[in-house]
């Protein structure tokens, strides 16, 4: 799915998106039933969040009778990806490895996941530099202080 200008989804909105992503297309009733208890949100809170997601073009609406069916306009993958990119942008390139390690430590991975990740690492190894160059502004990382 092409996400033109990646929309930013807040933490609360993300919960809504998960329901939409999981179901391809949902009614607001579905979202409310799914989240009302789990999140301890009032029905109107959920309505507000859905409204905001439509407003920011994360959800598309299709009229179904007099109700709406909501469909995701951004993919989970892209959304997760832009979140990841954000993390990497916040640290020195040299520390990218550490960030990946941290995430990996906390992640629950299957044998197959591990296998695939090792493969990807091996691919990256083909072109990986001996040492990563720092790209930070002077003074903003200890690679080159003033």
> Which residues contribute to the site for a copy of itself (CB under 8 A)?
11, 14-15, 18-19, 21-23, 30, 33-35, 38, 76-77, 80-81, 83-88, 90-91, 93-114, 116-118, 120-122, 124-125, 128-132, 136-142, 145-146
Q: Smallest distance, Å, CB 85 to DNA?
A: 16
19 interface partner picked from DNA, a copy of itself, none, CB below 5 to 8 A per type: a copy of itself
Radius of gyration of the chain (CA): 20
Q: Quick check: 67 binds DNA (CB under 7 A)?
A: yes
102 interface partner picked from DNA, a copy of itself, none, CB below 5 to 8 A per type: a copy of itself
Tell me the window of 25-33, 74-82, 83-91, 123-131 that interacts with DNA (CB under 7 A): 25-33
Nearest alpha-carbon partner for 15 in 48, 49, 42: 49
Tell me 71's DSSP state. Answer: E
Q: Smallest distance, Å, CB 145 to DNA?
A: 18
CA dist 35 and 47 (Å) reads 11
Q: Quick check: 38 binds DNA (CB under 7 A)?
A: no
CA dist 105 and 120 (Å) reads 17
Give the long-range contacts of residues 48-52, CB within 8 A, separation 24 or more: 49/12, 49/13, 49/15, 49/16, 50/16, 52/13
101 interface partner picked from DNA, a copy of itself, none, CB below 5 to 8 A per type: a copy of itself
For residues 70 and 58, is the Cβ–Cβ distance under 8 A? no
């Amino acid at each position: 799915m092409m996400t033109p200008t990646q929309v930013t989804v807040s933490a609360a909105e993300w919960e809504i998106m998960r329901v939409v992503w999981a179901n391809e297309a949902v009614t607001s009733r579905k979202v409310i039933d799914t989240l009302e208890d789990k999140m301890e949100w009032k029905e109107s809170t959920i309505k507000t969040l859905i409204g905001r997601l439509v407003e920011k073009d994360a959800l598309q609406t299709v009229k179904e009778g007099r109700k709406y069916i909501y469909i995701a306009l951004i993919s989970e993958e892209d959304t997760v990806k832009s979140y990841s990119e954000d993390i990497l942008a916040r640290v020195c390139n040299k520390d990218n490895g550490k960030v990946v390690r941290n995430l990996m430590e906390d992640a629950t991975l299957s044998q197959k996941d591990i296998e695939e990740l090792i493969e990807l690492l091996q691919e990256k190894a083909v072109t990986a530099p001996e040492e990563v160059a720092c790209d930070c502004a002077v003074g903003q990382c200890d690679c080159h202080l003033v």
